[in-house]
Structure 1
């Protein structure tokens, strides 16, 4: 990166509490980001689903999620922490992991190191207009090295991947790729070479929800995001998400959220 180049998207360091201000759909509903993220839970506990697998998290858990990875997590009032959003496209440059990583950090020194690394990024961001892309990338590089070093000491309690986990992960990857289309669970099951019943059974076992719920969750998260973060007309959102008509989208959205798209947009 030369001095004249700028990052394709900004670094962000946010309290997890800010992410939850929009309600449970902001955290629990299945979604993905176009950039790598690191979740750092400093207090509380709950459950997190990443790539179709649900597991528990507690205080002092750090979870790295690559771009385009479907995930969602429970978050009640007792949970605190930070989310670090890297710029999109820097995962290769920084040698960030290609797969999700869940670290359960029991050593106080690890907590201190991670807090210092995140604080350094936040301090640079607080410089405002004088923040340096090169400095931010340097701090992010140190964070990626720290992450790599923690991965050399694997979590003995981490579940081993089996056929169930692989199928659930393959399904969520396909959903993430094609949820804008009108594909159904039957279509995804056919692409994966299994029956819809088997696919739903596997998803229930891996993350406690059927395949249809995962698909609906992802579609309606995107619908709510577009309604709150853009000015796209409802009819265009319906079309972008593969619904046959605005009326069908409104009916499905209302059944899923209890509000019409227009009501949701007004209420945030």
Structure 2
């Protein structure tokens, strides 16, 4: 028999049974058992099935972030309310205005409260009241000894009121109507806590809106305030019609990238005269009034339209979307996208 002839020799050396135990799983039919089997597999090994697909893990309901029910209306003590972003600071007081998604009523009963709004800082005195519509950028800090009330109102509750709540920042003095206003605020808080019937809450809000429309004008300022105002006094006869015509023209030309000098020329004056008139009538330069007008229009479009922020920046004369974002963050503390999301929260 030739060495190369095929035989049926499949037993004994080198085909003697192995004494090694198969590694891995002890289940029959696995690949490890087939490799270390005592006999040569003639028919091959059965294919190892693929592992069944594993579903994508999702956090359970108990692990998800709990979102509490948002209060529609809250009455807070004035001393416990502070709002704004901390500035670069020498102190910890809020110095950078921030927006809120709800309407706000601030009423000072005793002490003082520092309020920064529209790039101006005022100190509210006893009896002073401010109503700030949703989306208004402001900073507020109660000074030591301040007492009063702060009412937050969800914009959803203000629909259908007659008279409607003010759409602009409203300032006034409570005067002799303080007791009646306090009863109205407490009734609103009690009715909101019950959350039984929205119609009753609407009636109380209508009464509050009526009281806001009948506020007394703020009394004359204290001698200290008058002296400070005298030091920064503007010219005695500001050209208010010129300023109003400038604002009307600027509102029409927002998206045309017109220069201030060109706008002043269209009004028949110079930029220097226009700046003086704006400082005398509004306390701000023409360029600041133009920036404020552009920001107000951008905020209105973000609240009431679905126009992309990049398109809003283009339509209002901003150099780019980034330019709009920087201006908006500086004024409100939020990006245009975050502001739109905040104002549309349910």
Corresponding residue of 1:157? 220
Residue 141 (str. 1) matches residue 206 (str. 2): yes
CA distance in 2, matches of 1:231, 1:95: 25
Q: Paired residues, what number?
A: 235
Give, in whole Å, the separation in 2 of the partners of 1:98 and 1:223: 16
Residue 3 of structure 1 aligns with which residue?
none
Deviation at residue 26 of structure 1 after TM alignment? 1.7
**2:180 corresponds to:** 113
For 1:26, which of 55, 75, 98 is the aligned residue?
A: 98
Aligned to 2:97, the other structure's residue is in SS state: helix
Q: Give the unaligned 5+ runs of structure 2.
A: 1-70, 87-93, 227-235
Contact 1:94/1:140, CA 8 A, preserved across alignment: no
SS at 1:76's partner residue? strand
CA shift at 1:61, angstroms? 0.6
Q: 3-state SS of the aligned residue for 2:185?
A: helix
In the TM superposition, what is the alpha-carbon distance from 1:103 to its structure 2 partner? Answer: 2.4
Write the distance in 2 (CA, Å) between the matches of 1:47 and 1:147.
Answer: 19
Contact 1:46–1:56 (CA<8 Å) still a contact in 2?
yes
Secondary structure of 2:130's partner? Answer: strand
Q: Is 1:122 aligned to residue 189 of structure 2?
A: yes
- Structure 1 residue 203 corresponds to structure 2 residue 275: no
In the superposition, the TM-score normalised over structure 1's length comes to: 0.54
Distance 1:71 1:36, change over 3 A: closer
1:238 maps to 313
Q: Tell me how far apart the structure 2 counterparts of residues 99 and 206 of structure 1 sit (CA, whole Å).
A: 19
The structure that has the greater radius of gyration is 2
In 1: Cα distance, 2:74 partner to 2:108 partner: 13
| Distance change in 2, residues 1:220/1:139 (3 Å) | same
TM-score (norm 2): 0.45
Choose which of 173, 190, 199 in structure 2 pairs with 1:104: 173
The CA distance in 2 between the partners of 1:103 and 1:120, in whole Å, is 22
Note if contact 1:60-1:104 (Cα within 8 Å) is conserved in structure 2: yes
In structure 2, how many angstroms separate the alpha carbons of the residues matched to 1:46 and 1:244?
Answer: 35
Structure of greater relative contact order (alpha carbons < 8 Å, 6+ residues apart): 1
Q: CA deviation at 1:139?
A: 0.9
Structure (1 or 2) with the greater helix fraction = 1
1:126 aligns to what SS in structure 2? Answer: helix
Tell me if the contact between 1:48 and 1:71 (Cα under 8 Å) persists in the aligned partners: no
Deviations along 1:191-233, whole A, 9 cap, x unmatched? Answer: 8776543343233234543131233245457779999xx9987
